[in-house]
Chain A
Amino acid sequence: MLKYLASTLKEIILLTRDRGGLAMLFIMPVALIIIMTLLQDSTFKALEERKLPILILNMDQDTFGINIYEGLSSSSFFSVIAQEENSQDPVGSLKKRVASGEFQIGIIIKSDASNRLRNNIRYNIIKQLPEEDSLFFGEMSIQRKDKPKIEIYFDPITKNSFKQSITSALNEFSSGVEAKVLFNVYSSLFKELLDMDMNNEGGFKKLVDIETLYATNDGQMTVPNSVQHNVPAWTIFAMFFIVIPLAGNIIKERETGISQRLKVVSGSTLPIILGKVTTYFFVGILQAVSMLAVGVWVLPLLGLPQLILGSNIIALILLTALVSLAASGYGVVIGSIANSQEQSSIFGSISVVILAAIGGIWVPVFIMSDIMQKVSMISPLNWALRGYYDVLLRNSNTFEILPSLISLLSFFVLCLGIAWRFNSTRKSY
């Protein structure tokens, strides 16, 4: 116990003396999180929504305009953003935003569209009646008006398939509205003609319901947004990067002869290893806390979504602790196996980068090919990331993330075992 405590205390003092190294451990990852989240924000938005953003200027604000607007909004293929109408030149501003590429599609529903539609339908009906009946309405004065109008502006780079889908959607919605209006006009004419109230029940409901669903392997797959992916991902990455200072620390002790000295005076090397693990474990925890804090408080200031920590804080803490343990274990193993500082820092950093790439830290696993999705499972960083997805996105509790926790713990124990064996059988110092 004395040896363990002394070893821990010594490591803490050493760490606090290495201001530069400490700053690297905290500042670099925070920068990484901010940059990667900003970079990938739009990519993730597209992934998350898989919806085509369209900008709509509804100048009609009556049955026709409202119906089209709501129709498009409720579609799972479009995300509808309304163009502010109170600006000086809403039409010009809409065109500009599409031309500048902010939106690929802009739609203008011209003013008075609903009135024109009603008028023209009424006109058509009356024109169909025999002359004496139409006179009955005293409506000979009714004039055909210009058709209601929808203008669609495309960004020149818009794909044809998008153009088609928006045009057909608009056709669908406008015929829906036409039918609705037609029905209303008829019922009011009937009322005038026969003084008969139509039973409006049932209205004009859609008779066919088409539901659009995504086909995914995993029925409950939830796609994270940029923040929900990048913050935990780079937190894990940074935590695993402590293998470099930790392994370096172990090798330095060997190179300076300190570990020989310790081997002579101390029975087992285990308390010494555990002292290091403890110290770097807490470094990992501090890293995680600071990076999650960046996700919660700093990213929103940059216009990014806030990181929501989910409702299972205990699961989150346990998971973070085990990630930190696994990372320290990995550092100890590399420090014990590598023969020189150079070997350990090169092997350490490259292996962490590879494990990160495989594990879906750089490119999320769910957009990898099937084979790579399988391969990703060998990476401890992937077990960690899955755990975070579960806790942050699905509100999983400790029990539900048990597979991640157990894998990480086993990894740690395995690492420690290997390192211990290596240290006690190492013949050349």
Chain B
Amino acid sequence: MDVAIDVIKLSKEYKNTSTLAVDDISFSIEEGEMFGLLGPNGAGKTTTISILCGLLQSTKGEVIIGGMNSITHSDSIKKIIGIVPQDIALYPNLTAYENLRFFGNMQGIKGTHLKHRISELLGIFGLEQKAKQKVNTFSGGMKRRVNLIAGILHAPKILFLDEPTVGIDVQSRKVIMEYLMTLKQVGMTIVYSSHHMEEAEKFCDRVAIIDFGKIIVHGKPNNMIEKYDNCNNLEDIFIETTGRSLRD
């Protein structure tokens, strides 16, 4: 299989901080893989994802996406990636449909094609009845679902999701994760971050646990569980490797 994403010795130091938010990490993700970025609060997940999709400049290191250097080919890379940010990046005063139409247009989709795509996705995520309601009247879970749809309208080859299932009920989580699996089946590469270990264990081909900007362990969840004798699941490994202290 081809490599979709190659991260080589990546570091990020924010201005006016003394520590590295991302500290010399290297990993690669294969095409069609579902890759989980796990880690406590402040571990550097969002920072890593932001660098991967070209929103942040790294302090050191290199990122290759689809065989292209992330800095020199940022425009070509933009065409094949999609992002679902951690925050709800929607206009609260627009309806779900208006939001999606706008982001669809921004991704270069238009007309009936876009219309069909929007109603298809709204249908899958159980929102077809709510299409004409303003997003600020939505529940948290509904907003998350629209937030997700906005990132996949253009069916990107590589999709980044930053905590797509945070703060939502079991039903919504199930719909989201199952849809991500169908995307994976048609060949989409998916990179996602989460605090939900069970979910990651169940759906991800491989995961990386990062803390203080460093990758602590990475690999297939099952292999990792086998490696740690006293651990029965990913959550145990997570606590084992990152400790019990609280983070900011």
A429 to B98, CA, bound (A): 24
Per-residue 0/1 for A8-20: is the Cβ within 8 Å of any B Cβ (1 yes, 0 no)?
0110011001100
In angstroms, how far is the closest chain A Cβ from the Cβ of B215? 24
Chain A residues whose C-beta falls within 8 Å of the C-beta of B106 in the assembled complex: 3, 6-7, 262, 265-266, 272
Chain B residues whose C-beta falls within 8 Å of the C-beta of A215 in the assembled complex: none
Chain B residues whose C-beta falls within 8 Å of the C-beta of A429 in the assembled complex: 50, 55-56
Question: B89 and A427: CB pair below 8 A?
Answer: no
> Which residue of chain B is the closest to A429 with respect to CB atoms?
B55
Chain B residues whose C-beta falls within 8 Å of the C-beta of A369 in the assembled complex: none
| Residue of B89, B90, B108, B150 with highest tally of chain A CB at under 10 A | B89
Task: Select the stretch in B75-83, B122-130, B175-183, B185-193 that faces chain A.
Answer: B75-83
Chain B residues whose C-beta falls within 8 Å of the C-beta of A302 in the assembled complex: none
Question: A264 and B110: CB pair below 8 A?
Answer: no
Question: A265 and B107: CB pair below 8 A?
Answer: yes
A258 to B91, CA, bound (A): 8
B168 an interface residue at 8 Å Cβ cutoff? no
Question: A2 and B56: CB pair below 8 A?
Answer: no
Interface residue from A18, A257, A272 paired with B93 (Cβ < 8 Å): A18
A6 to B53, CA, bound (A): 23
Per-residue 0/1 for B81-97: is the Cβ within 8 Å of any A Cβ (1 yes, 0 no)?
11101111111011000
Question: A256 and B98: CB pair below 8 A?
Answer: no
Per-residue 0/1 for B35-73: is the Cβ within 8 Å of any A Cβ (1 yes, 0 no)?
000000000000000100111110000000000000000
Taking A3-B105, A267-B75, A428-B14 as contacts, is the C-beta distance between A256 and B94 under 8 angstroms? Answer: no
Question: B108 and A2: CB pair below 8 A?
Answer: yes
Per-residue 0/1 for A97-118: is the Cβ within 8 Å of any B Cβ (1 yes, 0 no)?
0000000000000000000000
Chain B residues whose C-beta falls within 8 Å of the C-beta of A256 in the assembled complex: 87-90
Chain B residues whose C-beta falls within 8 Å of the C-beta of A266 in the assembled complex: 78, 106-107
Majority-rule SS of A interface residues: helix
Chain B residues whose C-beta falls within 8 Å of the C-beta of A258 in the assembled complex: 89-91
In angstroms, how far is the closest chain A Cβ from the Cβ of B52? 10
CB neighbors of B among A1-40 (8 A): 2-3, 5-7, 9-10, 13-14, 17-18
B103 an interface residue at 8 Å Cβ cutoff? yes
Question: A14 and B91: CB pair below 8 A?
Answer: yes
Chain B residues whose C-beta falls within 8 Å of the C-beta of A260 in the assembled complex: 50, 55, 83, 85, 89
A343 to B89, CA, bound (A): 22
A261 an interface residue at 8 Å Cβ cutoff? yes
A226 to B101, CA, bound (A): 49
Taking A264-B53, A264-B81 as contacts, is the C-beta distance between A10 and B151 under 8 angstroms? Answer: no
Question: A10 and B91: CB pair below 8 A?
Answer: yes
CB neighbors of B among A254-306 (8 A): 256-258, 260-267, 272
In angstroms, how far is the closest chain A Cβ from the Cβ of B159? 11
A229 to B150, CA, bound (A): 50
In angstroms, how far is the closest chain B Cβ from the Cβ of A350? 27
Question: A10 and B94: CB pair below 8 A?
Answer: yes
Chain B residues whose C-beta falls within 8 Å of the C-beta of A5 in the assembled complex: 105
In angstroms, how far is the closest chain A Cβ from the Cβ of B163? 12
A36 to B52, CA, bound (A): 56
Chain A residues whose C-beta falls within 8 Å of the C-beta of B85 in the assembled complex: 257, 260-261
A429 to B46, CA, bound (A): 12
> Which residue of chain A is the closest to B15 with respect to CB atoms?
A428
Chain B residues whose C-beta falls within 8 Å of the C-beta of A6 in the assembled complex: 101-102, 105-106
Chain A residues whose C-beta falls within 8 Å of the C-beta of B14 in the assembled complex: 428
> Which residue of chain B is the closest to A272 with respect to CB atoms?
B106
In angstroms, how far is the closest chain A Cβ from the Cβ of B63? 14
B157 an interface residue at 8 Å Cβ cutoff? no
B154 an interface residue at 8 Å Cβ cutoff? yes
A427 to B13, CA, bound (A): 12
Question: A261 and B93: CB pair below 8 A?
Answer: no
In angstroms, how far is the closest chain A Cβ from the Cβ of B103? 7
In angstroms, how far is the closest chain A Cβ from the Cβ of B88? 7
A265 to B102, CA, bound (A): 12
A429 to B105, CA, bound (A): 23
Question: A264 and B55: CB pair below 8 A?
Answer: yes
- 21 A-B residue pairs with CB within 8 Å: A2-B108, A3-B106, A3-B108, A10-B94, A10-B102, A13-B98, A14-B94, A257-B88, A257-B89, A258-B91, A260-B83, A261-B83, A261-B89, A263-B55, A264-B78, A264-B81, A264-B83, A265-B103, A266-B78, A429-B50, A429-B55
Task: Return the 9 tightest CB-CB contacts between A and B, nearest first.
Answer: A6-B105, A257-B89, A257-B87, A261-B89, A257-B85, A17-B93, A258-B89, A264-B83, A10-B102
